[in-house]
Structure 1
Amino acid sequence: MKGYKISTNIDELDFEVIYRFISESYWAADIPRNTLKKAISNSLCFGIFDGSEAQVGFARLVTDRATFAYLADVFVIEAHRGQGLSKWLVEKIVAHPELQGLRRMVLATRDAHGLYAQYGFQPIENPEILMQIWQPNVYREQKA
């Protein structure tokens, strides 16, 4: 995309930009800084950068790079939305060489089903086979 680049180099990521967005998101509000640092260091991360090398978007995959991946923490900061950057990011993720041949790639979204459907994501077949331990307030409880 003209004027932007996507990088998987973890050394290029701007943690402050990522933390500011994700710690205020609906899915990870109040996440502790160290928890997010650990999550990033153990994930395959994608950063979007503008022409001045400022980070304007992010996504990470929790993956073994062989059989499974969970796509998480996808965002484009508001000032850069409406230019197709989220589509470009998802396209690059799905096409990434280390993610080819996976048996399953999953994600959770409250409001972006249409975006992900364009790249092959579908509602889970047989959701009754999936189970979870769900602790939606874990970050708030850790602070107390």
Structure 2
Amino acid sequence: MGQEYFISTEKNLLNVNAIKTFIADEYWGDGRTLEDVEKTIKNSYCFGIYTSDKEQIGFGRVVTDYIYFGYFMDVIIFEKFQGKGYGKILVEHMLKDDVIKNLKTIALKTKDAQGLYERYGFKTIGDSPLWMSIDKQKLD
């Protein structure tokens, strides 16, 4: 894929309207307003993936305390860019980020992307069909 994309945590690059429109059509985003999406972005550690011309390809955010726990949310690739590997690129980048890679536990919920997240070490939590995590916390 070369350098036809870049990933940034700069929130001012995010296309909030496009993110809201995409999320509103997803099973987990029913009822979110533009104001809701703006507030979630303000209060999260966010990642945007873009073309070299700064067109947004996708988005992901992490709700975190920056030390122990992070919760992956709203990891999306806009429809016209789906099927090209950008989702894998975004998740890999998020997991290698200096903040995220040092967290003790990373969790997420998904109804339909378990296969994607399993390749990066996420495991199902208990018998939940939705919850997954990477847990590096030592309990001894």
C-alpha separation between the residues in 2 aligned to 1:54 and 1:36?
19
> 1:8–1:46: 8 Å Cα contact kept in structure 2?
yes
Structure 2 distance, partners of 1:125, 1:110, is 15
Which residue number in structure 2 is paired with residue 28 of structure 1?
Answer: 29
Number of the residue aligned with 1:103: 104
Q: Distance in 2 between matches of 1:38 and 1:78?
A: 24
Give the C-alpha shift of residue 23 in structure 1.
1.5
Deviation per residue, 1:40-65 (Å, 9 max, x gap): 00100011111221111000000011
Gaps of 5+ in 2: 132-140
More strand per residue: 2
Residue in 1 that maps onto 2:135: none
Point out where structure 1 has 5 or more consecutive residues left out of the alignment.
Answer: 131-144
Alignment-mate amino acid for residue 59 of structure 1: G
After TM superposition, the runs of 4+ consecutive aligned structure 1 residues lying more than 6 A away are none
Question: Which residue in the other structure is 1:12 paired with?
Answer: 13
In the alignment, the residues of structure 2 paired with residue 82 and residue 100 of structure 1 have an alpha-carbon distance, to the nearest angstrom, of 26
Counterpart contact for 1:13–1:55, Cα < 8 Å: yes
TM-score, length-scaled by structure 2: 0.85
Tell me the TM-score normalized by structure 1: 0.83
Identity rate, percent: 38
Q: 1:24–1:30: 8 Å Cα contact kept in structure 2?
A: no
DSSP 3-state at the match of 2:124? coil
Please report the RMSD computed on the Cα atoms of aligned residues, expressed in angstroms: 1.6
